[in-house]
Each structure stands twice: as structure tokens, then as C-alpha cells.
Structure 1
């Protein structure tokens, strides 16, 4: 099953971005504290990280998901991606900072702008393709009572970001985020489907959807003999709004298996 995603790239809503149906999440390139995975892991060195990125590209992945809250992820990706910027759609975030093992949040205009400028510098690029707000869980308060969304709209007008949106935790947050923005990143997997109304709204309004925790962070449990990856992707790619699912593996075999399975699911969909 030597499947790739090269011919399965698709639009992300009406953002104008064309993305692979799987994106590579890079939290494990920069942070190994306070992450919710069933097994411990070691942050890969530059050689292993470069090999993983090369493999992702070979398999037809063009979407990379990073964030300031992912420890050293952004500052490592900058040098690792030198000379390759045109091949990648880069998603980063704003709002959450991770320092000394703890997260804190800042959604002010000044911090938002400073954070985006820092991401551009670390990633060695003049624009970010998509910038998402890293919610603290109080989705509506963040969207209605802070300056983060208007600031992102201004940064988009300035050409520093191509599109913006919200990575939240509630249906109401997701719906408001899509009304005023371009994209929402939502949790949708075999264990959690409460945010499905956000996907339905996106499908009706031409908005972008990225799925986080598509594989339930490695926790999905099913009947014996059922491949949890395949079952997860059948659910996720069964919804017309879904642009891509973000997978965070640093294991090359897992990545190749995820790609082959996703490609097969998408190609054989009725």
C-alpha cells in the first residue's frame, strides 16, 4: 500500500490555500512537558526531525502545524525548512505561551502582534499561511471581549498572514469564530463529536476546518480487529467540511501508515 497524498490536495474553505488532507503536527519537535499522549517520547534531534519532514513531503503532506506554545517547535522549523518555504502551508497560533512548564494566555492586541512578528522571525518567513487563536477554553469571552480577532484581521490586511481562525473547545466558540474568521480547528474523533455543528456550519458557509485529535491523541479503543486509524479517518473524512486532520507522530512508520490509510479512505469513499 504505497499510497501518497500528492493528488489529493484540496482547498481549505475559501481561504485560497490548497492543503493535503493530513497535516503534520509539530508539538513533539519542541515540547515534551505537559503533553497528553499515552506514551512518553524523546524530542527528535535535527537529523531525525529533518528526515521526518522530508518523509512528510515525499508522502504528499504540505501542511505543518506549529505554535509558540509548542516549546522550541517554531525556532527549530525555521532552519529545518530553509529553501523549502514554497512547498509548505504553515499554520501557527497566538494567545498561549508555554514557559517553565506552564501555560499562560494573552489575547491583547500588543501581544498578538508581537507574537506573530516573533513567529515570522523564528520560522524565517515573511508570511504565515494560517494563524489560529489558541483558546484557553473561554471561547466566547476570547472572541467577544479581547482584541485578538480584530488584530488578526489587521495582520491579514497587511499581508503578514493569509488567513486566520480559532482553535477552540466549544460549539458556540467555533460558530462565532467561523462567522468572523476563515477557519476553525476542532476536536472530532471516535470519542468526541460534540463540535460537529461547527463542521456543519463550515460546510454550509465555505469556511475552513482543520481537525485536531483526529486519532484521539492515540487513545481510540475499538472492537478487536478494527484498525483505529482507518475507523478514525472514515469518520473525519466522511464530513464534507473537513480540509485536513493534524497528526502529531514523530514515528516515520506511523506517519507512512497514517498517509496510506487516509489516502485509501479518501479514494474509496462512496
Structure 2
């Protein structure tokens, strides 16, 4: 497993980052309850197997069920070998409001303390905003608290998890965030317009949603009639497959790894076979210039439609 620099943080991370949401809570298409998930012992063994195989970058969050606890158990005694990224509790309450500025510091410190306890460590390598919308990114108190934590050494780097191009651009404008985690995949390539700028600013980019919750796999078949055009578009990627990219998940992951500005691609791993596939995919043989350009030209023409939470609310993902 090769490693890449994570922006200007001084850390080098494996090209594949282990996405920890799937081991911590029911998540993704076809996963309805904990009965569809690994047991605690199986999840801990999977995390250790990933580390032994060369993956050193692990992503989790306070909101990911028992994910942090599992990583704490898996990496006890091996903390120096891993780069741990976790995310703060969501700031917004049920009515969508942010806590008053006077409460924000306590909120962030409490979330971080809970993460450190669960992860059995006294520092985080990357501490991130979870769902960093524009109002959150504009909040000077939030930014100041994160900077204070970095100065104190409780965290090594600050980060923001964004969803839209405007949010990512605002995070770059702020100059506060060392790492940005963002969605980017074959279907939705909108964030790619900011990759070169992030590289110029030495911001570490971590790409998530490379498989779009499994749509860019065999799960992207027999979809709801409302998603007929999406399913047809996914089927068209078959023409991009070759000996180095024999299946769609491999193509989708290598597409992310073929972006030179990207430090790591976040892959949801909740089965030993998914770990094996991720390791085989990150082989250093990525898309050539022509292959990459063809893939870039086959982004979905209406990326705004690719709103999976909306699809879920509409019952299209059942």
C-alpha cells in the first residue's frame, strides 16, 4: 500500500482510507439493521487486518454508532501506527439551529473528549467538522476553537467534511482547515474543479462516496423506476472496463486514485472481501491519460439529481 502526503500536515496516509461508518451502524443500500453487520469481534479483527495489510488511515465520527469504540479496541497498543480522523457531533439541533457562541466551545470540547475516550487515545490526528455547511464555516468561534486545539496538541490537524462545491470553496477561502473531505465519483465530479486550488494551498484532500453508497457496484442494478436514467448511465461504464479495471468498483476506486491532488480515497469496508478488493485495487496502476479523460467525460449530466437522502425519503432505495 503506497502512501501520499496529507497536505501540509506532515502526515503520510495510505492511498485507501478505511471508512468506519459501515462497521459502526447500519449504512448503505441493502443494510437495514445490525443483523446485516459484522459482530464486534469480527469488526475488530477486520480493522487489525487492514492495518496489518498496510492501511494506516482510518476515518470515523461521533455520529457513526460504535465505530470509534471498535477502533479504540482494535488499535490499543498500536496507536503510533495509525492516522485517526474523527468528526465532531453535528452542531445543529432538531430545529436546525446552531448552539449560541457561548456554548460552542463546550460543545466541541465535549465531543472531542468523547471521541478520545472511545478511541482510547489522548490526541486525534485529524479532527473534523461534520457536515460543514456555509454558516458553520463562517463561524469564527468554531474556527478559533479548532485552532486552539491544534495549538495545544490535542489534535494534529483540522478538517472539514463538505458536500457542495460552494462549501469546499469557502473552506479553502478560510485558510483554517488543513484537510477537506468531500464527495467525488464517476457520476458526480463537480468537486474536481477545486482540486488544483487545494493542491496549491497544500490542503489535504480526502475523497469519499467513490462508490456512491454502493450504486457504482453490482447494487446499481434493478433500481426503482424513478432511477432508470441513472441505472442506464451506470451500465454505460461497462465500456470503460479493461484488464486493469475488470469491474465497476475497481474502475470507480481507481478513478478517485487517479486524481493526483487527492491524498486518499475513503472506502467503506465492512467485509473481509471488501478489504481484499480495496487492497488489490490500490496497486499503483491507475487510469492513463486517455482512459481518465474518457471517464471524466462520462459524468452524469444532471449531478444535482444524485441526491441519495432525497431518494431514500422517496422510497427509491428500498
Specify if TM > 0.5.
yes
How many residues end up aligned between the 2 structures?
A: 256
Q: Which residue of 1 aligns with 2:311?
A: none
CA 1:103–1:64: 2 relative to 1, 3 Å? farther
Q: Name whichever structure is richer in helix by fraction.
A: 2
- 1:14 deviates by 0.7
Q: Which has the larger radius of gyration?
A: 2
Q: Deviations over 1:180-210 (max 9, x none)?
A: 2101001000111111123221122211000
The TM-score, its normalising length taken from structure 1, stands at 0.87
Partners of 1:196 and 1:235 in 2: CA distance: 12
Partners of 2:194 and 2:164 in 1: CA distance: 9
Tell whether 2:65 aligns with 1:65.
Answer: no
Q: Deviations over 1:30-73 (max 9, x none)?
A: 212xx3x2212623222211221122113210011010000111
Which one of 260, 266, 269 corresponds to residue 280 of structure 2?
260
1:1-270 residue pairs with structure 2 within 5 A?
5=1, 8-32=2-26, 35=27, 37-40=28-31, 42-96=36-90, 108-135=104-131, 139-145=133-139, 147-178=141-172, 179-220=175-216, 221-223=234-236, 224=238, 226=241, 227-266=247-286
Relative to structure 2, which stretch is displaced further, 163-172 or 182-191? 163-172
Partners of 1:98 and 1:31 in 2: CA distance: 21
Is the 1:59–1:256 contact (alpha carbons within 8 Å) kept by the matching residues of 2? no
Is the 2:44–2:70 contact (alpha carbons within 8 Å) kept by the matching residues of 1? no
Uncovered stretches (5+) of structure 2, i.e. residues with no partner? 217-233, 242-246, 290-318
Is the 1:70–1:98 contact (alpha carbons within 8 Å) kept by the matching residues of 2? no
Relative to structure 2, which stretch is displaced further, 114-123 or 51-60? 51-60
The TM-score, its normalising length taken from structure 2, stands at 0.74
Partners of 2:107 and 2:118 in 1: CA distance: 16
Is the 2:126–2:159 contact (alpha carbons within 8 Å) kept by the matching residues of 1? yes
Q: Helix, strand or coil: the match of 1:245?
A: strand
Q: Helix, strand or coil: the match of 1:82?
A: coil
Q: Name whichever structure is richer in strand by fraction.
A: 1
